[in-house]
Amino acid sequence: MEDKPFNIVDYIPGLTVDFYNNTSWDETAPSPYTSFAPTGGGSLAAFVYQSQIDISGWTKEGLTAFFSNQYIQRDGPYIPTGPIPAAGGLLARDWVFVTDVPLQVTSDLLSAGFPSDVSDYMTIKLGQGSSWIQSTTTPSELINCDSWSTGSGQPTASGTLYVTRVCQPGPFPGNASNAIEFPVLRYVAQGIATAEPEFVYLNRLRRSYELQQL
């Protein structure tokens, strides 16, 4: 069976949201995002986007996708709509997960793949997070103050890749009329779809099916 090189490109829409302060949370989310505010508090109060990438054509041919490179690209900066307040600048955090099993949106989602979350590390093909903060030297856009990755990069025999983006503004006590613009992102993946030994392939399919039933 012939190997098939692939180049996946998927766009993740941007988002403009009011940041929340220490006592309130704006639950209005523009489509296709949904808001998530944990009942009784919690680590995740954010806007969540989820979509799917169909790769079932390889599965139908009994092929496994091996990733060589995966990237998250963006079309511009993270922009605050107002000047930097005297109390301090705005803060934004942004996470993207690409998995072959749907991620559950829980208070532990930001730790996907780690022991505190229900997800399995091997199912996370790419996990990338970043923190952005407003500075007196760059008041008109947020600057990157931290970034990290969590994905396994392991091959998949699943027919679907699941994309999850989590945008988390604040918290910030101050003028809630300001907002943060999160940029459009692009997921790019290159690799090759190829046949594996039958025993390995069937075990990979079985494991993927079991995890989707959890």
**CB of 173 closer than 8 Å to CB of 5:** no
Indicate the number of domains in the chain.
1
pLDDT per position as a tens digit, 31-87: 899 888 765 555 667 889 999 999 998 888 888 999 999 999 999 999 987 666 656
Say if residue 26's pLDDT is above 80: no
The pTM for the full model equals 0.87
Domain span at residue 88? 4-212
Instruction: Single out the residue of 164, 172, 165, 96 nearest to residue 133, CA to CA.
Output: 172
pLDDT per position as a tens digit, 148-193: 988 899 999 888 999 999 998 876 545 555 678 999 999 999 999 9
Selection from 45-49, 103-107, 117-121 with the highest mean pLDDT: 45-49
Q: Quickly tell me which residue has 């989707």 as its tokens.
A: 212
**CB of 78 closer than 8 Å to CB of 41:** no
Beta bridge partners, 21, equal none
Length of the chain: 214
Rounded Cα gap, residues 189 and 163, in angstroms = 13
Both structure tokens of 63: 């092929």
Q: Is 167 helix (H, G, I), strand (E, B) or coil?
A: strand
